[in-house]
Amino acid sequence: MNRDDYITGREAPPEVEWASSQKADPSKASFLDLPRELRDMIYELALVVPGAIFFYACESYPRAHIHKAVIVRHKDLGPSSPLPVHQALQSKLLRVSRQLHAEATPMLYSRNLFRLFSSNVNFAPRYRGYVHNILFPLDSVSNKLFSRDVTVVAYWWRQCFWPEVLFQARMLLKIYPNLRSLTFSIKEYGNMVTWRPAFVPWGLRGGEVRERREIRVKAARAWLRDKCPMDDGVKRVLRMEIMGGERNGNGGEESEFDVVEFAEAFDGLRAAE
């Protein structure tokens, strides 16, 4: 794996400082004597984690900003409860030598999913170009979407929610120009209530489960089509999802709804734009 494996024709990240490391004793075997393919496998085991790396806070000091992070579960991957980063990610490997730092850095930043609590969470400039996958929860404007009145939802979507999505997306793309996926997730509201879109048809009867699912996805996509204008740069990377349980556990006519249906509807919309 080389540097070009992390770039797909977009802006190349600044070079991470590289220098060949020399063995203290040439007669002894070294980690760097291993083939590059094996070293990359080790970097992946040491630096790539299932789930997401969640930056949840930032402490400011006169000369630095310290971001706090934990490993969290995402889409059935990762720990069942937040895990300190140092227990899952062997970042000390990056400080062994300049050569290891240069070889392993792209693996760390391009292969992990980073969940940010704010668009102000920034990595050092020389690393930003390697970041490929970001998850950004939205909670400040999404509470109005929980209305059961589709007219109210449409109003707040157009006036507040979607403009906020575009604003944050464009800002993050300026900071991280080589993003491959930028996923905005609609968080639970109030007493951990998972969003059930008012524009999805409930209470469907008859037919197979698969057929009812297809009807809901198609209806959601039709509703979203004229409410989600986006330029090509945003369209290339943008994803949307509902954060919450895989299914609504309250029973009733909404219990069949699966949160991945919304993501599927939006992906189809994005592909058709």
Residues 233 and 189 in one domain: yes
Domain that holds residue 95: 1-131
* Beta carbons within 10 angstroms of residue 230's beta carbon: 17
Residues 147 and 114 in one domain: no
What pLDDT is attached to residue 178?
95
Q: pLDDT tens-digit profile of 104-122? A: 999 999 999 999 988 777 7
Which of the two residues, 179 and 7, has the higher pLDDT score?
A: 179
Q: How many Cα atoms sit within 13 Å of 183 on the Cβ side?
A: 20
Strands 83-84 and 64-72: antiparallel
Q: Of 111, 131, 151, which marks where a domain is finished?
A: 131
Q: pLDDT tens-digit profile of 13-45? A: 555 665 666 666 777 888 888 999 999 999 999
110 falls within a domain: yes
What pLDDT is attached to residue 173?
95
Q: pLDDT tens-digit profile of 179-213? A: 999 999 988 776 567 888 889 887 776 677 788 88
Residues 185 and 225 in one domain: yes
238 falls within a domain: yes
- No. of helices (H) and no. of strands (E), the chain: 9, 7
Residues 163 and 64 in one domain: no
Q: Which of 163, 160, 157 is nearest to 224 (CA)?
A: 157
Q: pLDDT tens-digit profile of 226-265? A: 999 999 999 999 999 988 754 444 444 455 678 889 999 9
Q: Of 108, 131, 154, which marks where a domain is finished?
A: 131
CB–CB of 132/7 below 8 Å? Answer: no
- Tell me the two tokens of residue 239: 């994803």
Q: What's the CA gap between 239 and 267, in Å, rounded? A: 7
Count of domains observed in the chain = 2
- Tell me the two tokens of residue 6: 């992390």
Q: What's the CA gap between 217 and 157, in Å, rounded? A: 18
Q: What's the CA gap between 219 and 207, in Å, rounded? A: 16
Residues 45 and 1 in one domain: yes
Residues 147 and 72 in one domain: no
Q: Of 101, 131, 161, which marks where a domain is finished?
A: 131
- Tell me the two tokens of residue 51: 């789930």
Q: Which of 239, 120, 262, 261 is nearest to 181 (CA)?
A: 239
160 falls within a domain: yes
- Tell me the two tokens of residue 211: 């057929």
Strands 113-116 and 64-72: unpaired
Q: Which of 83, 101, 71, 74 is nearest to 243 (CA)?
A: 74
Q: Quickly list H helices, the chain.
A: 36-47, 85-88, 98-111, 125-128, 150-156, 162-175, 209-225, 232-237, 260-272
Supply the DSSP string of 49-96, one letter for each residue: -SSEEEEEEEEEETTEEEEEEEEE-BTTBS-SS-EEHHHH--GGGGGS
Q: pLDDT tens-digit profile of 119-160? A: 777 788 889 999 999 999 887 566 788 888 999 999 999 999
Given a cut of 60, is residue 177 above it in pLDDT?
A: yes
Q: What's the CA gap between 238 and 233, in Å, rounded? A: 9
What pLDDT is attached to residue 256?
66
